[in-house]
Structure 1
Amino acid sequence: MGIDGRDRGGVFVEREFELPVGGTWQVTVAPQFYLSRWLGSSDSNLFDPANFGVVARVDGSLGPRTSARGFVSLPASI
Protein backbone atom coordinates (compact mmCIF):
# COMPACT_ATOMS: atom_id res chain seq x y z
CA MET A 1 0.00 0.00 0.00
CA GLY A 2 1.30 3.45 -0.82
CA ILE A 3 0.39 7.07 -1.43
CA ASP A 4 1.27 9.00 -4.56
CA GLY A 5 -0.14 12.43 -5.27
CA ARG A 6 1.08 12.66 -8.85
CA ASP A 7 0.87 9.63 -11.17
CA ARG A 8 -1.42 7.32 -9.23
CA GLY A 9 -3.81 9.92 -7.86
CA GLY A 10 -3.53 9.07 -4.16
CA VAL A 11 -3.76 5.76 -2.29
CA PHE A 12 -2.86 2.60 -4.22
CA VAL A 13 -2.30 -1.10 -3.49
CA GLU A 14 0.37 -3.23 -5.14
CA ARG A 15 1.74 -6.76 -4.84
CA GLU A 16 5.15 -7.71 -6.22
CA PHE A 17 5.71 -11.07 -7.95
CA GLU A 18 9.01 -12.55 -9.09
CA LEU A 19 8.86 -14.25 -12.49
CA PRO A 20 10.94 -17.42 -13.00
CA VAL A 21 13.29 -16.61 -15.87
CA GLY A 22 16.33 -18.65 -14.80
CA GLY A 23 19.99 -17.94 -15.16
CA THR A 24 21.39 -14.74 -13.71
CA TRP A 25 18.31 -12.67 -14.55
CA GLN A 26 15.65 -11.52 -12.11
CA VAL A 27 12.30 -10.08 -13.26
CA THR A 28 9.69 -8.68 -10.88
CA VAL A 29 6.24 -7.37 -11.75
CA ALA A 30 3.96 -5.43 -9.40
CA PRO A 31 0.36 -4.91 -10.55
CA GLN A 32 -1.24 -1.86 -8.94
CA PHE A 33 -4.81 -0.85 -8.11
CA TYR A 34 -5.49 2.86 -7.53
CA LEU A 35 -7.98 3.08 -4.66
CA SER A 36 -8.32 6.87 -4.74
CA ARG A 37 -9.16 6.90 -8.45
CA TRP A 38 -11.67 4.10 -8.01
CA LEU A 39 -13.46 5.88 -5.17
CA GLY A 40 -13.15 9.34 -6.72
CA SER A 41 -13.12 9.88 -10.44
CA SER A 42 -14.24 6.54 -11.92
CA ASP A 43 -17.85 6.53 -10.60
CA SER A 44 -16.90 3.45 -8.50
CA ASN A 45 -16.40 1.39 -11.68
CA LEU A 46 -14.05 -1.34 -10.41
CA PHE A 47 -12.99 -2.39 -13.93
CA ASP A 48 -12.17 1.08 -15.30
CA PRO A 49 -8.68 0.74 -16.89
CA ALA A 50 -7.67 4.07 -15.31
CA ASN A 51 -7.73 2.29 -11.93
CA PHE A 52 -4.84 -0.04 -12.80
CA GLY A 53 -1.11 0.17 -13.44
CA VAL A 54 2.05 -1.93 -13.27
CA VAL A 55 5.68 -1.59 -12.21
CA ALA A 56 8.30 -3.99 -13.61
CA ARG A 57 12.00 -4.44 -12.87
CA VAL A 58 14.67 -6.44 -14.71
CA ASP A 59 18.14 -7.10 -13.33
CA GLY A 60 20.79 -9.42 -14.71
CA SER A 61 24.33 -10.12 -15.75
CA LEU A 62 25.57 -9.65 -19.31
CA GLY A 63 29.08 -10.86 -18.56
CA PRO A 64 31.62 -11.26 -15.77
CA ARG A 65 31.91 -7.49 -15.20
CA THR A 66 28.80 -6.13 -16.90
CA SER A 67 25.23 -6.00 -15.65
CA ALA A 68 21.97 -4.53 -16.88
CA ARG A 69 19.09 -3.07 -14.95
CA GLY A 70 15.73 -1.85 -16.21
CA PHE A 71 12.66 -0.27 -14.67
CA VAL A 72 9.25 0.61 -16.10
CA SER A 73 6.22 2.16 -14.42
CA LEU A 74 2.96 2.30 -16.35
CA PRO A 75 0.26 4.11 -14.43
CA ALA A 76 -2.86 4.62 -16.49
CA SER A 77 -3.56 8.26 -17.24
CA ILE A 78 -6.77 9.94 -16.18
Structure 2
Amino acid sequence: MDRFTQEEIDKALVEIETLDRYTMCKYWRFAPPGTEIYFRSDLPTGVAFQKRLFVELGGFTPEISKQIGH
Protein backbone atom coordinates (compact mmCIF):
# COMPACT_ATOMS: atom_id res chain seq x y z
CA MET A 1 0.00 0.00 0.00
CA ASP A 2 1.34 3.39 -0.97
CA ARG A 3 2.30 5.82 1.74
CA PHE A 4 1.54 9.46 1.13
CA THR A 5 3.28 12.47 2.62
CA GLN A 6 1.37 15.15 4.46
CA GLU A 7 2.15 17.47 1.55
CA GLU A 8 0.54 15.04 -0.91
CA ILE A 9 -2.50 14.65 1.33
CA ASP A 10 -2.89 18.43 1.68
CA LYS A 11 -2.58 18.88 -2.09
CA ALA A 12 -5.19 16.18 -2.73
CA LEU A 13 -7.60 17.79 -0.25
CA VAL A 14 -7.35 21.07 -2.17
CA GLU A 15 -7.81 19.25 -5.50
CA ILE A 16 -10.93 17.48 -4.22
CA GLU A 17 -12.56 20.86 -3.62
CA THR A 18 -11.97 21.83 -7.27
CA LEU A 19 -13.26 18.65 -8.92
CA ASP A 20 -16.64 18.84 -10.63
CA ARG A 21 -19.40 16.30 -10.13
CA TYR A 22 -18.89 14.52 -13.47
CA THR A 23 -15.14 14.09 -12.91
CA MET A 24 -15.68 12.82 -9.37
CA CYS A 25 -18.22 10.27 -10.59
CA LYS A 26 -15.84 9.14 -13.31
CA TYR A 27 -13.03 8.74 -10.78
CA TRP A 28 -15.35 6.86 -8.43
CA ARG A 29 -16.36 4.41 -11.14
CA PHE A 30 -12.99 3.85 -12.80
CA ALA A 31 -10.32 5.07 -10.31
CA PRO A 32 -7.71 5.91 -12.96
CA PRO A 33 -4.02 5.75 -12.05
CA GLY A 34 -2.96 8.64 -9.85
CA THR A 35 -6.31 8.94 -8.06
CA GLU A 36 -5.85 6.24 -5.42
CA ILE A 37 -5.21 8.87 -2.74
CA TYR A 38 -8.87 9.94 -3.11
CA PHE A 39 -10.18 6.52 -2.11
CA ARG A 40 -8.06 5.58 0.89
CA SER A 41 -10.41 5.20 3.84
CA ASP A 42 -7.46 5.48 6.21
CA LEU A 43 -6.72 9.02 4.98
CA PRO A 44 -8.73 12.24 5.30
CA THR A 45 -8.79 12.41 1.50
CA GLY A 46 -11.09 9.38 1.29
CA VAL A 47 -13.57 10.93 3.70
CA ALA A 48 -13.39 14.32 1.95
CA PHE A 49 -13.91 12.79 -1.50
CA GLN A 50 -16.99 10.83 -0.44
CA LYS A 51 -18.46 13.78 1.46
CA ARG A 52 -18.02 16.14 -1.47
CA LEU A 53 -19.32 13.72 -4.10
CA PHE A 54 -22.27 12.20 -2.27
CA VAL A 55 -23.30 14.85 0.27
CA GLU A 56 -22.34 18.19 -1.25
CA LEU A 57 -22.76 17.41 -4.97
CA GLY A 58 -25.50 14.79 -4.78
CA GLY A 59 -23.61 11.80 -6.18
CA PHE A 60 -24.51 10.04 -9.40
CA THR A 61 -27.53 10.81 -11.55
CA PRO A 62 -28.89 8.49 -14.25
CA GLU A 63 -27.61 10.96 -16.85
CA ILE A 64 -24.07 11.06 -15.48
CA SER A 65 -24.04 7.30 -15.14
CA LYS A 66 -25.02 6.90 -18.81
CA GLN A 67 -22.44 9.46 -19.95
CA ILE A 68 -19.65 7.73 -18.07
CA GLY A 69 -20.60 4.20 -19.08
CA HIS A 70 -19.23 1.11 -17.43
Q: Normalising by the residue count of structure 1, what TM-score does the alignment of the two structures yield?
A: 0.21
Higher RCO structure, 1 or 2 (CA under 8 Å, sep 6+): 2
Q: Name the one with the larger strand percent.
A: 1
Q: Name the one with the larger helix percent.
A: 2
